[in-house]
Amino acid sequence: MPMRKPVILTGLRANNALHIGNYLGALKPMIDLAKEKAGDYQINLFIPDLHSFTTPIDHSQLQTQIHQNLAVYVAAGLPMNHDDIHIYRQSFIPAHSELTVILNSFTGMGEMSRMTQFKDKSAQQHEDRISVGLFDYPVLMASDILLYNAEYVPVGDDQTQHLEFTRDIAQRINSKFGNIFTVPKSVQEQHSFFGKQQGLRIRDLQNPAKKMSKSDETGKGVLFLSDSPELIRSKIMSATTDSLSDIQYDYSEQPGISNLLDILELFGGEKKSFIGQKQYGSLKQATADAVCAFIEDFQGRFNQVDTDAIDKKLIAGEEHMNTQATTTLRAVQNAVGLRSQ
């Protein structure tokens, strides 16, 4: 029997329109990693559809958004023909939900109450609208990871607590019942393995004090991958700058200008050539040209995506992952007395 390959696991966004910040900060680095590591690692790319409605969403659009976002990943270069790369929907693997129920009985209320992301997200909702699913999110995330013996999980700063909890609950179960789970690498080891690409943050064009985000209700400061080139150009040309009339790369004094310089460079432009210029219009024009060129090419590839190939890859991935996840779940069920050997 061949040796098991170490597992890299990450979630692909299930809902919400994707923007250039998602593309540069998470999507492209993840695809580059999959291309580089497939062969030596098993790459699990799952759609966290159960996680997607821990806060309110339009449920009628969920399946459409899942398939659209998968097409975005394929258009961005995700390899579909490599045996070590697996895509699957979380809810199509029943073991995710079953393991979460078991782990809940070994998880403290205090542990979950201290999660910063829960505090931040629940603060934005009326108390009666805060779901138990949002509170329990880290336990489901732990199940996502532990079912596949995943060692490497790229996480942003807002997810580090959840990864540490995953390590804690894995060690807790192993200490009580024997060596059942593979404990994921520490946050420090994850950062060393993945590098800093995952931390990239593009800022909102209208409010450069915050990152570009779907939560911007107006959408004026967000460059979506589905925006037309004309709309992209309009948003960039109307981006907030300042009244200093001297281009410098300085986020403390000129956050809007510095954000435009970064976007320009990330899409192949030369930001150094604009430092010291007195007019902002030429920088906006160059940034718009660079992003529009990318968008036109990307949308051309998106329109050519083979959706039947995506469906076949999903079905194959879900069959393969069901086998792996059920094996782990059965070991846990045996350990806690729900099944006999």
Beta bridge partners of 86: 44
Q: Cα(93)–Cα(185) distance, rounded to whole angstroms?
A: 24
Q: Is residue 278 annotated as a catalytic residue, yes or no?
A: no
Whether 121 is a known active-site residue: answer yes
Determine phi and psi for 152, rounding to 5 degrees: -120, 125
- Which one of the listed residues 121, 185, 271, 284 is annotated catalytic? 121
What phi and psi, each to the nearest 5 degrees, are found at residue 41?
Answer: -130, 155
- For the chain, report the end-to-end CA distance as a whole number of angstroms: 23
Which residue is catalytic, options 28, 35, 211, 220?
A: 211
How many angstroms separate the CA atoms of 218 and 206, rounded?
A: 10
Torsion sign over Cα 52, 58, 59, 60 = negative
Q: Answer yes or no: 214 catalytic.
A: yes
Cβ of 213: how many Cβ atoms within 10 Å? 17
Residue 332: how many CA atoms within 13 Å on its side-chain side? 27
The single residue of 5, 28, 210, 214 carrying the catalytic annotation is 214
How far CA 94 is from CA of 88, 210, 267, in Å, comes to 12, 38, 41
Contact 23, 225 (CB under 8 A): yes
Owner of token pair 């029997």? 1
As annotated, the active-site residues are: 121, 211, 214
